[in-house]
Amino acid sequence: MATSRVRESDYQIAWEIQEAIVGHRAVALQMEHFADRVVEKAKEFAPQPGGGHPYATGEFVDSIYADVLQRRVKGRFAAGWTWRVGSNDPKAKLLEYGTGIDKPGTHAVWQDLDGKWHRSRFTPTPEFATFAKTAMFFHTHGGVL
């Protein structure tokens, strides 16, 4: 009876298969198309200009982008290309997570878009959860697709 031996580990074989799939142009185009869909959905969930919130000026919506990360780490990590959807707006984290209620005995000092300074116990930013809602819409979690 003839026998053969595979000298590559399961991981090495899986690595080669993933390299072939991820490197394929049709797969790359589908991933790019999907990332564009995620960006459009995130822009729908983002606070829209004129929506009654002082920081909803449209800058956050315009700052939502998709870019590609190359993950070519050998070892235990996956290889290939990964798309990331995010925002480079300085207010992005405040709009995503909100600022919540200040601790008792403290207050928040904040500046509105007209340059007026305010001091209050409750900061004016609710949790919009733009990217969390987007992730839930696409049945995934985290910022990396």
Residue 145 lies in a domain: no
* In-domain check, residue 1: no
Res 136 pLDDT > 80: yes
Domain of residue 66 covers 10-137
Question: Residue 100 contacts by C-beta under 8 Å, 6 or more apart in sequence?
Answer: 123, 127
Within 24-138, strands assigned E span 64-72, 79-87, 108-111, 117-120
Q: If you average pLDDT over every residue of the chain, what do you get?
A: 77
Q: Looking at mean pLDDT, say which of 63-72, 84-93, 123-132, 134-143 comes out highest.
A: 84-93
Q: Name the band, by pLDDT with cuts 50, 70 and 90, for residue 133.
A: very high
Residue 2 covered by a domain: no
Q: Residue 79 falls within a domain, yes or no?
A: yes
Q: What is the pLDDT, as a whole number, of residue 107? A: 76
When pLDDT is averaged across residues 129-135 and rounded to a whole number, the result is 92
Instruction: Answer yes or no: is 47 within a domain.
Output: yes
pLDDT tens string 52-75: 676 778 899 999 999 887 655 555
Give the pLDDT confidence score for residue 82 in this predicted structure.
74
Give domain status of residue 143, yes or no.
no
Q: Is the pLDDT of residue 5 over 50?
A: yes
Determine the pLDDT at residue 129. Answer: 92
φ/ψ region of 90 (left if φ > 0, alpha if ψ in -120 to 50, else beta) reads alpha
In a domain, residue 5? The reply is no
In a domain, residue 142? The reply is no
What is the dihedral sign for C-alpha 144, 60, 42, 32?
negative
Total structural domains within the chain: 1
Q: Counting runs of H as helices and runs of E as strands, what totals does the chain give?
A: 5, 4
